[in-house]
Structures are given as C-alpha cells and as structure tokens.
C-alpha cells in the first residue's frame, strides 16, 4: 500500500481534493488483468487453429505434389527394373520402345487344389511340359511356368483365378518396324543391356534416368528406309543377287537417312546369327569397290591442277604392264581421251596414267585425309576396318582404279559426299544433329563443281556407264564400280554411288549388289529403247536399282524437281 | 462481464473448431480426388504409351504395304510430274501437240 501511495502524485495547485476509491480502482485493475489474460487466450486459440489449418494446407500441397503409389512406382521403382529411353527416327516415329511384360511364376504353397489347377492348366495350355510342372509343384518350390507371356496367354492365366500364379513384371524392348532397322538398332539382352548396334553404342545414354522422357533421335527416315529396302529386295529377286546394301547420306553434314543391308532379320525374335551374310554390309563389310575409286583419282588430278576436265591425254595404250599385272580396259577406247572422258568411259589405263602424274606421295596424303584407310567414326559397334596393305610396286596404279584397296561402302560414300558438297570432309553419323557441320577441305570448291559436272555426264553421255539412273528432273550424277570379291574371284560386286541433284548436290546414294546375274526377263527402258537384259555390269543392275529408288524417294526428299517446276508449278501460277 | 467473455470465447472456439473440422473433411475429399486423378493420369499415360506404339506399328510403311497388298494387288508406281494436269484444257493442249508432232513425223 505504501508503495502505491508513493506513486500518487499530488498536485499542489489543486484547490480541492478527492478521496480515491481504492476498492473501485482495485476492481478495475483486476478486470484489466483478466481482460488481458482472455485476449492472450483468444490469441493462443487463434494461433492453434491457424496452425491446424496451416497443417492441412501443407498436407494438401504435399499430396498434390507427391507421385501417388501407382503403376509407375510399382513397376519402376519397387522392382528396380532397368528402363531404356525410346529411339525415334528423324520425324519422331518410334523405332524402339520399352514396354511392361510379364513372366508367369508359380508359388505352390498358395495353390490349394493342385490336381484341379493342373487340369485347368492342361485344358488351357495343352503344350506345356506337365510332368515337369507336376514334379515342381510337389517339391513346393517357386518356379517359372511361362516366361515372356503374350497378352492372350496372360488373359487365359488370369481367367483361371488361381492365387498361386504370380505375374512377375519385367521390361521388354519392342521394335515396331521389325526387320527394317535390324542392322542399325541392334538388340538388348534379357536384362535390358544393349548387346549390338545403337542399343549397345548408346547403352549408357539410353539408361540415363534423367533423360528417360527424351527419346534418342536418329537421323534415319522410316519411309525412305522402307522404300529403299523394298526396291533393294526387288533387285535381289530380279538379279538373283545373294545380298545387297544401300546407303543414303546428306552430303552437307554426313547424316545418314537410310542404311539397308540385305538379308536382314527380325530383331523382335531372339536368335543367334552366325552367318556372315547377315553382317551390316555398309559399315562392317570391307570391299574392293572397283571403278568408284576412279572419281577420287580424277578429283585429285584436277585439284592438284595437273589437268583440267578438257585436257586430252594422248597415246593411251590398249594395255599397260605394271610388274606382274596386266592392266586393260573392259571395252576398247580411243587412243586420245579427255580427262572427263576417262571417267565417263571408266578407262582403267587413262586413270592409271593420271595417278602416275599425281604421284604416290600426294595420293597417300589424299587417302589419309579422306579417312579411307582408318576405321570410320560412326555411332555403331559394327564398324569394319580396311585391310592393311603395303605400298609396293604398282600399288598406286591399282589403287587408282579401285583394286588392291578395301574400304567400307560407308567410307566411299562419305568421300563422294565430300567431293560433291564443295570439298568439305563429312563425318557420317546416324544421330540427328541440328547444327551445321563444317569439316576440313579435301578438295577446292572449283574442283568439286568440276567433278559434279563430270559425274552428271557419266549418266547423260552416250558413252557413260550409268544411263539407267537418268531420272528426269533429279539431275543424277554418279559412278559405277564392278569388281571381284577380295580374294574370292568367283564373286562379284556391283556398286553405284550417285549424287543428286548434281548442280547442287544434296544427297549421296550408294547401291551395292552381291553376285547379281543377268536379268534376261527384264526389259530396260534404255535411252528411249526397250531392250532385254544381256549384260551384268553395275550399269545394268545397281544403276537400274538406284534409278528406281531415286524416282520414289525424290518427292519425299522435296528436291526442287525441274520436271515439277516445268509441268506443275508454272501451270498452277 | 466475465460470463459474456466466456461465452464469446466459447462461440469463437466452436466456430473455429467447426471451420477446422470442415477444412479437415474438405482436405480429405480433395486429397482423395487428387489421388484418383493422378491414378487416372497414370493410366492415361500408360494407355498413350501403348497406343502410340500400336499406332507406330500399324502405320509402319511395311505394315501399310502389306495391307495394301491384301486389299488389292496393285503395284503403286510414282506418277511423273509431266503427267499431272491441273486443267482439262492443259491435257487437251498437250495431246494435240503430241498428235501434231506424230503427224509431222509420219509426213517426213
């Protein structure tokens, strides 16, 4: 009380005084105190309820963000299955995808009436080994009934309504186009690890969990691949060839739009293939490609400014003797030929004379620069290595027209792409790349233009060897090659490497046929005449096939077709 | 006074309690809906995954060619652009030219 009195301030100017009602003051103070406590309690209450609401809000946010327990978690995470990314072609068409599949396993301890189960099983699956199943059932151990179930088999097993049947999920790789990309895609093993082709080369990238939703985009085009595959299959029948291959490459960046090797196989069916005829002939097979090499010799001679396309080579002998080899031409040629005529007529002797002018050193440099002597850097496991050889006497001469040197068709096509695109070396690829590729110069732009003109003449000139590929509107140019199998003289290999449209080449197409025969029943439309097949050189089979292919794929590739401009565009305007 | 305050406090408490209860119930309902929708979404994704594969298989050029062969034995050949006529008059004009050319050749 004293303390309180001390706090009372006395106003000395005050004329009157009052008696303070201590009881009332005390009551007021008490009330204020209670009010304060009540307020605190209300705040606390509000805080509590606010916290509760906050908890619910957080919960609902978490629920909406969390991936629920469902199919994905069950299959992918709990089962620790290896997932693989999709593989698509350049337009996004699926060429390889993982799907959920099932094995049917049996847990005997969950089967109440084993006899009834066996009867039901026998009725639905009469071909199963029932003695073994009966034995395993009696042993009471968990075992697999059917591995890799088909959908109809799974439904039949479901309909049995047996608890003891366990459906074990696993990831299965499916290739919707079956045979079409068999040499490129390769296969995966039972554990989903790539064992060949793209599946093996990109195994790590395809299993990258961070990129699971992004497909691996190849540079291939499904429709073009089918057309080429179809035409090549027809050619194999028409010319009774034992095998064939074709490759379509974008000459500006080396992207491969189609790669076909026949015979092929269904990659959805698991089988051991040991026969070498099933190899990827484009990337793995190494061959003596013959006269297609003459283009390289002519290009080098032009690039070194030793000759021009019009330079006349005089006194060309009918036969050349080099060490133990006799070099002749298949048909008799004039004694004087221009450089371009040497390529148009495919003269071996003319090419040898040019190679001798070039010299061994420069020719070696050219082969090294053009990557013809080493393994190609393609994104596939199955890439062949050219056979080693020594630069002994006459090697330059034989190499100049494509003998005594082996390369893969892929390498030869890549060099044709480089020669025709303005001289830039391209690195072949099967992956779709958006950036433009700028490689080193193999030859000058001027030489490239000259070579394109000469290659066009091989198709258009009367003496040319590739008239059957002169498809109106596509300005096809190219060079044929007819050769014997390397070390196997009974076998022959007919090749045609074309570029189109030759005034500004966009694509290089290689067509190769193994051991083709004369197609006596085939009627060729040869320079406006209808003639029957009597000959067996590349000009009569590989060139014919290439022409058929270009006619079909040309519109898809949207090349500015002269015929279209002349007959459709002008009229529609 | 204390009684009134007590009543107010009880009323506030009751209101908040009922609001909280409603929120809790609604949260549960929304949670169930979210889970149902997410499951539906997964099923739809799975369906899309399989349908896309089916589509790519059924529309693969090999399959389409086989189907065409089953329907009719027609070997489709590409049509030359020079044989495409946008108007009947163009067609007649070209044919007349050809006839004229042939007649001239005969006269020669």
A533 Cβ contact list (under 8 Å, min separation 6): A518, A519, A520, A521, A522, A523, A524, A540
Closest partner CB to A563 (pick from B35, B49, B80): B80
CA distance B28 to chain A (A): 8
Strand partners, A524: A531
CA A325 to mean position of chain CA atoms: 42
Inter-chain residue contact B62 with A178, CB threshold 8 Å = yes
Q: pLDDT tens, A37-96? A: 777 877 888 888 888 888 888 877 887 777 655 444 444 444 556 688 999 999 999 999
Q: Does A83 touch chain B (CB under 8 A)?
A: no
Nearby residues of A295 by Cβ (< 8 Å), 6 or more positions away: A343, A416, A419, A451, A455, A479, A497
pLDDT(A341) > 70: yes
Among the partner-chain residues B39, B60, B82, the one whose CB lies closest to the CB of A70 is B39
Q: Is A186 helix (H, G, I), strand (E, B) or coil?
A: coil
CB within 8 Å: A49 and B19:
yes
Distance of CA A302 to the CA centre of its chain: 35
Q: Is the pLDDT of residue B52 over 70?
A: yes
- Percent of chain B at pLDDT > 90 equals 3
Whether pLDDT at A366 is above 60: yes
Contact A46 B57 (CB under 8 A): no
Q: Are A232 and A511 in contact (CB under 8 A)?
A: yes
Per-domain residue ranges for chain A? 76-217, 225-572
Q: Using CA atoms, how far apart are residues A32 and A29, in angstroms rounded to an integer? A: 5
B44 vs A70: CA distance, rounded Å: 12
Instruction: Delimit the domains of chain B by residue range.
Output: 2-77
- By CB neighbour count within 10 A (0-12 exposed, 13-18 middle, 19+ buried), where does A481 fall? buried
Distance from CA of A491 to the nearest CA of B (A): 31
**Is-same-fold flag (A76-217; A225-572)?**
no
Compute the distance between CA of residue A295 and CA of residue A184 in angstroms, rounded to an integer.
Answer: 29
The domain defined by A225-572 folds into Beta-lactamase (3.40.710)
pLDDT attached to residue A3: 46
Contact B81 A72 (CB under 8 A): no
State residue A206's pLDDT score: 92
| pLDDT score at A443 | 92
Q: For residue B55, give how far its alpha carbon lies from the nearest alpha carbon of chain A (Å).
A: 9
**The pLDDT of residue A72:** 47
Q: Would strands A165-174 and A216-217 be described as parallel, antiparallel, or unpaired?
A: unpaired
Q: Which residues of A touch B31 (CB under 8 A)?
A: 59-60, 63
Asked if the Cβ–Cβ distance from A71 to B42 is below 8 Å, we say yes
Name the strand (E) or helix (H) holding B45: helix B2-58
The answer to whether residue A249 scores a pLDDT higher than 90 is yes
Provide the chain A residues 199-228 that lie in CB contact (below 8 A) with chain B.
Answer: 222-223, 226-227
CB contact under 8 A, A178 and B49: no
Least confident of A11-25, A157-171, A245-259, A281-295: A11-25
pLDDT for res A13: 59
Specify the pLDDT at position A434: 67
Give the CATH architecture of domain A76-217.
Answer: Alpha-Beta Complex (3.90)
Name the residue with higher pLDDT: A408 or A561. A408
* pLDDT, average across residues A168-173: 88
Q: What is the pLDDT of residue A489?
A: 66
Taking chain A, what is the end-to-end CA distance rounded to the nearest angstrom? 113
CA distance B76 to chain A (A): 10
Q: Tell me how close the Cα of A201 comes to any Cα of chain B, in angstroms.
A: 23
Chain A contact for B43 (CB, 8 A cutoff): yes
* Closest residue on chain B to A40 (Cα): B9
Mean pLDDT of chain A: 85
- Please answer yes or no on whether B60 and A176 come within 8 Å at the CB atom: yes
pTM: 0.80
pLDDT for residue A436: 64
Per-residue pLDDT reduced to its tens digit, A419-433 = 999 999 999 999 987
Instruction: State yes or no: pLDDT of A492 exceeds 90.
Output: no
User: If residue B49 lies in a helix (H) or strand (E), which one and from where to where?
Assistant: helix B2-58
B39 shares contact with chain A (CB less than 8 Å): yes
pLDDT tens-place string over residues A307-331: 999 999 888 888 888 877 788 887 8
Q: Tell me whether B1 touches chain A (CB under 8 Å).
A: yes
Q: What is the DSSP string of A455-471?
A: HHHHHHSTT-S-GGG--
Q: Do A226 and B84 touch (CB under 8 A)?
A: no
Checking if the pLDDT of A560 tops 80, the result is no
- CB atoms under 10 Å from CB of A74, counted, come to 12
B66 contacts chain A (CB < 8 A): no
Give the count of Cβ contacts less than 8 A between chain A and B: 103
Instruction: Judge whether residue A374 has pLDDT over 50.
Output: yes
Q: Pick the residue of B18, B24, B60, B68 with the most A CBs within 10 A to test the interface with A by mutation.
A: B60
Report CB contact under 8 Å: B30, A571.
no
A2 pLDDT exceeds 70? no
Q: Is the pLDDT of residue A527 over 80?
A: no
Please give the helix or strand (H or E) that residue A231 lies within, else none: helix A222-238
């Amino acid at each position: 009380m004293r303390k309180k009195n001390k706090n009372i301030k006395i106003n000395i100017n005050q004329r009157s005084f009052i008696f303070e009602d201590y009881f009332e003051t005390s009551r007021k103070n008490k009330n204020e105190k209670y009010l304060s406590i009540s307020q605190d309690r209300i705040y606390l209450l509000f805080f509590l309820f606010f916290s509760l609401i906050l908890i619910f809000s957080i919960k609902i946010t978490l629920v909406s963000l969390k991936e629920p327990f469902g199919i994905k978690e069950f299959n992918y995470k709990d089962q620790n299955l290896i997932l693989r990314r999709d593989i698509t072609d350049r337009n996004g068409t699926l060429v390889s995808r993982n799907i959920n599949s099932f094995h049917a396993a049996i847990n005997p301890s969950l089967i109440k009436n084993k006899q009834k189960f066996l009867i039901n099983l026998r009725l639905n699956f009469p071909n199963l080994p029932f003695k073994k199943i009966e034995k395993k059932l009696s042993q009471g151990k968990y075992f697999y009934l059917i591995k890799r179930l088909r959908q109809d088999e799974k439904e039949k097993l479901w309909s049995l309504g047996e608890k003891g049947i366990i459906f074990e999920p696993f990831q299965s790789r499916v290739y919707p186009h079956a045979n079409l990309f068999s040499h490129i895609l390769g296969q995966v093993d039972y554990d989903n690890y790539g064992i060949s082709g793209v599946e093996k080369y990109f195994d790590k990238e395809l299993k990258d969990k961070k990129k699971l939703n992004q497909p691996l985009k190849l540079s291939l085009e499904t429709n073009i691949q089918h057309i080429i595959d179809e035409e090549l299959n027809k050619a194999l029948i028409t010319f009774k060839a034992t095998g064939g291959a074709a490759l379509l490459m974008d000459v500006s960046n080396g992207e491969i739009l189609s790669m076909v090797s026949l015979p092929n196989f269904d990659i959805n069916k698991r089988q051991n293939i040991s026969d070498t005829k099933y190899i990827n002939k484009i990337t793995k097979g190494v061959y003596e490609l013959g006269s297609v090499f003459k283009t390289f010799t002519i290009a080098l001679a032009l690039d070194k400014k030793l000759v021009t396309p019009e330079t006349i080579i005089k006194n060309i002998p009918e036969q050349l003797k080099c060490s133990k080899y006799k070099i002749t031409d298949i048909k008799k040629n004039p004694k004087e030929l221009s450089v371009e005529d040497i390529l148009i007529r495919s003269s071996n002797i003319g090419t040898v004379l040019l190679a001798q002018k070039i010299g061994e050193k420069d020719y070696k440099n050219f082969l090294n620069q053009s990557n013809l002597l080493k393994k190609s850097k393609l994104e596939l496991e199955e890439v062949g290595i050219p056979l080693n050889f020594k630069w002994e006497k006459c090697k330059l001469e034989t190499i100049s027209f494509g003998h005594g040197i082996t390369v893969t068709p892929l390498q030869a096509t890549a060099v044709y792409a480089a020669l025709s695109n303005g001289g830039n070396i391209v690195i072949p690829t099967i992956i779709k790349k958006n950036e433009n590729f700028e490689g080193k110069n193999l030859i000058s732009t001027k030489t490239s233009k000259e070579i394109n003109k000469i290659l066009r003449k091989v198709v258009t000139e009367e003496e040319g060897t590739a008239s059957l590929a002169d498809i109106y509107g596509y300005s096809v140019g190219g060079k044929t090659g007819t050769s014997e199998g390397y070390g196997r003289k009974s076998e022959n290999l007919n090749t045609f490497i074309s570029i189109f449209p030759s005034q500004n080449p966009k694509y290089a197409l290689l067509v190769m046929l193994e051991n083709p025969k004369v197609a006596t029943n085939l009627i060729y439309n040869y320079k406006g005449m209808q003639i029957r097949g009597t000959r067996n050189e590349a000009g009569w089979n590989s060139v014919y096939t290439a022409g058929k292919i270009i006619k079909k794929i040309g519109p898809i590739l949207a090349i500015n077709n002269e015929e279209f401009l002349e007959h459709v565009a002008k009229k529609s305007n | 006074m204390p009684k009134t305050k007590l009543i107010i406090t009880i009323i506030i408490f009751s209101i908040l309690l009922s609001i909280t209860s409603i929120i809790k119930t609604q949260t549960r309902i929304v949670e169930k809906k979210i889970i149902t929708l997410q499951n539906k979404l997964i099923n739809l994704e799975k369906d899309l995954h399989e349908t896309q594969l089916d589509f790519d298989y059924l529309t693969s050029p090999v399959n389409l060619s086989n189907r065409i062969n089953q329907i009719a034995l027609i070997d489709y050949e590409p049509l030359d652009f020079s044989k495409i006529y946008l108007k009947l008059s163009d067609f007649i004009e070209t044919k007349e030219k050809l006839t004229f050319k042939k007649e001239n050749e005969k006269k020669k």
